Structure 1
């Protein structure tokens, strides 16, 4: 239903690779079977003893050869590499133990980058924070509807040694990294898969940028977390107002440097009344902007991290005709999407932009229920969502809608994911990855391997 751009990869799909291995491993035996499958009746009598003897010798010889061969003698290294690129992240850790070569291959930064972009079925984690604490639950969204799904949820701790005295919040995610803001003046970059975490102080940077005591996300009119591939750097972009003056600044997390940007904001900053975090996609951060006077969606504001410039994406005409429309944006399978609640027809409308920045490519999908908050796309056709209508103190509920089959399913979490919950939980969805965080100098070359808590 959603065409997957990753299918353009010229490599063989995984099922074809399996058949290829099977055919090659059985090739020698197939020749032997063919040679003795069609002899004449006389030859069968004469060759009966020979055939049995040959089979016994062949079986013994194969067992001896099999014991002496390693997996690299059976499978070419290039083929192993292709297969591993298609293995889900949560299973790759087991394959590190196969051999030193496999461990080195999976630990290679280039492998992590390729796996993020070439994986046929990227996996998503959802961090659900029930109350104001450093504890959260990690849920593997693609697998909660399969089999023994309770094992796919586990309790995790945010990367703080001690509970923050003044609280913290999640600022967004990008390429497998989750950005946390901890008062008074700290950011924490965290990869939940690898366990990597890095603390970054930004207190002195505000003095250099002539800003006052700014706290996130309270004082930011606009903010977002993204990646600049041209500079191999993760950036935090923030727009704020100080004494009537508007500021647009960027924190480069790799170099811990604060940059004042010259790009002019397209309109007054107070249009972002709801102040949701920006959404990173296609080298840009996206925000859904609202009218300066009315609280309805008007367009999608984008900031290109490479060009350091703003632009706008128009909403579908049908959506704008509704007037006072409150929508949210999300990425589904690498596509920009809009989520809108139609209370008249009691449906959820999801608009997907099939071609980035091509207005005519907006495509509508209807979900036959209200309050369907999409989190990610699974297997190219199933939208997984969180049900925000779950009453307080009751277990959380997830929903999955298969667009092809028009099938709506629900999954209820274990009871302990609802106990002592006094408000709707905050959550963050991230794409699981093995990526390492870029370092600015060699003295921190082992920083990505640390497991020390902050």
Structure 2
């Protein structure tokens, strides 16, 4: 039974009369999907939910509880996906333009085209000093390190800014993981004849706008060939998932950016097509997605490992098969309130007079939330795995 309009108005009035710190403490305990529904209750709640500061604080608050969604993306999306950070998907089209997509709000936003985009890697994070979202672009020249470059784009502006810090080495996967205000990438040890990991990973600090190193447990350096290592954000903490060929899994968590702790160790009872797998976080733990190695099956198996204390420690509580096309791509992200239209309006306000003189009939690639989204955004409203 629906609540009468008068009663709803009265409840909203009482809610908004609460002290701001108490009101925000209540709202931040709710997932982003629930908060977005509040936008339709009243104008005051809509303005509150759309406030960029509230979106940033909500992302920080979700580190204390699970607010993770898992989705199946359409075939081919893996080729344009550059990163998943702050609840947004960063996708690059063939011509080099980078776009942001918020799956919850179903909004897209084009960024200015950078000077160098071929072979570039990307990352995104939040600068708590300036209260701004920043997108990182870096190009690594393996043969001439001095030619490596990096640039930063502040969301809401109309240009990229070159920074003095450059990446010290190549990364294993272009998609880094964001945690503690930094984005992290695993790296190979080029001085070793085998494809082993370095005893440290590369990170980028969005406040200092500098690259740096973070050490990892020493045994990972010698585990190549025996296991595969995946970097994930597990409930707000940086974690390394070590998947062994004999179906054993170990999860190491970086505690307060100081030390590593092996928090979980388990043996899987379900089978998967090793080594063609991917690992990510879900609401109550981690999932392992297994891809068909040959054309024998078109199914992709997703194994969910429940890490809650009230369940059998490390024992998978779900094992689902999704009938999809080959090379299905599965991602996980923390729901975000980021209102891309706000940053579009902010960018327009800061546009130079030269840009304003452009022909009115010319297509504007910075429009947010339009139905004529480019092909790399099409189908991203793919079904959510519950």
TM range, normalised to the smaller chain?
A: 0.7 to 0.9
Q: How far apart are residue 193 of structure 1 and its match?
A: 1.5
Does structure 2 retain, via aligned residues, the 8 Å contact 1:174–1:227?
no
Q: How far apart are residue 68 of structure 1 and its match?
A: 12
Is 1:121 matched with 2:21? Answer: no
Q: How far apart are residue 242 of structure 1 and its match?
A: 8.8
Q: How far apart are residue 95 of structure 1 and its match?
A: 2.9
Q: How far apart are residue 125 of structure 1 and its match?
A: 2.8
2:88 is aligned to 177
Change (3 A) 1:229 1:436: farther
Is 1:453 matched with 2:353? Answer: no
Q: How far apart are residue 393 of structure 1 and its match?
A: 1.3
Gaps of 5+ in 2: 1-5, 352-365, 374-386
Q: What secondary structure sits across from 1:183 in the alignment?
A: coil
Q: Distance in 1 between matches of 2:67 and 2:29?
A: 11
Change (3 A) 1:91 1:305: closer
Q: How far apart are residue 184 of structure 1 and its match?
A: 1.1
Q: How far apart are residue 339 of structure 1 and its match?
A: 1.4
1:139 is aligned to none
* Range moving further from structure 2, 302-311 or 115-124: 115-124
Q: What secondary structure sits across from 2:104 in the alignment?
A: coil
Is 1:408 matched with 2:309? Answer: no
Residue number among 326, 330, 346 corresponding to 1:427 in the alignment: 330
2:355 is aligned to none
Q: How far apart are residue 315 of structure 1 and its match?
A: 1.7
Q: Distance in 1 between matches of 2:211 and 2:7?
A: 62
Deviations 1:309-338 (A, max 9, x none): 232222213434546564121110111111
Deviations 1:60-113 (A, max 9, x none): xxxxxx979922565543355443332222223333333333333333333323
Is 1:328 matched with 2:235? Answer: no
Is 1:351 matched with 2:252? Answer: yes
Which structure: greater helix fraction?
Answer: 1
Is 1:71 matched with 2:71? Answer: no
TM-score of the pair, normalised by structure 1:
0.63
1:131 is aligned to 75
Q: How far apart are residue 117 of structure 1 and its match?
A: 2.3
Q: How far apart are residue 395 of structure 1 and its match?
A: 5.0
Residue number among 52, 55, 59 corresponding to 1:109 in the alignment: 52
Change (3 A) 1:278 1:397: closer
Does structure 1 retain, via aligned residues, the 8 Å contact 2:110–2:367?
no
2:182 is aligned to 284
2:213 is aligned to 312
Q: Distance in 1 between matches of 2:335 and 2:367?
A: 16
Deviations 1:387-425 (A, max 9, x none): 315674125424132352323212425xxx424x223x2
Deviations 1:213-253 (A, max 9, x none): x43xxx24x54333334441422221232984532221415
CA RMSD, 1 decimal: 3.3
Does structure 2 retain, via aligned residues, the 8 Å contact 1:392–1:418?
no
Q: Distance in 1 between matches of 2:242 and 2:94?
A: 34
Change (3 A) 1:441 1:122: farther
Higher relative CO (Cα under 8 Å, sequence separation at least 6) belongs to 2
Does structure 2 retain, via aligned residues, the 8 Å contact 1:376–1:385?
yes
Change (3 A) 1:67 1:116: closer
Change (3 A) 1:352 1:100: same
| Aligned residue runs from structure 1 range 67-216, under 5 A | 70-71=10-11, 76-78=17-19, 79-119=22-62, 121-132=65-76, 169-202=80-113, 205-206=115-116, 214-215=117-118
Deviations 1:128-150 (A, max 9, x none): 234236xxxxxxxxxxxxxxxxx
Change (3 A) 1:374 1:264: closer
Change (3 A) 1:237 1:226: farther
Gaps of 5+ in 1: 1-65, 134-166, 207-213
Deviations 1:338-392 (A, max 9, x none): 1112235x30111111221x13x422411212768542253xxx31303315674
Does structure 2 retain, via aligned residues, the 8 Å contact 1:330–1:338?
yes
Change (3 A) 1:443 1:408: same
Aligned residues: 327
Q: Of the two, which has the highest radius of gyration?
A: 1
Q: Distance in 2 between matches of 1:68 and 1:127?
A: 33
Q: Distance in 2 between matches of 1:200 and 1:449?
A: 10
TM-score of the pair, normalised by structure 2:
0.72
Change (3 A) 1:86 1:199: same
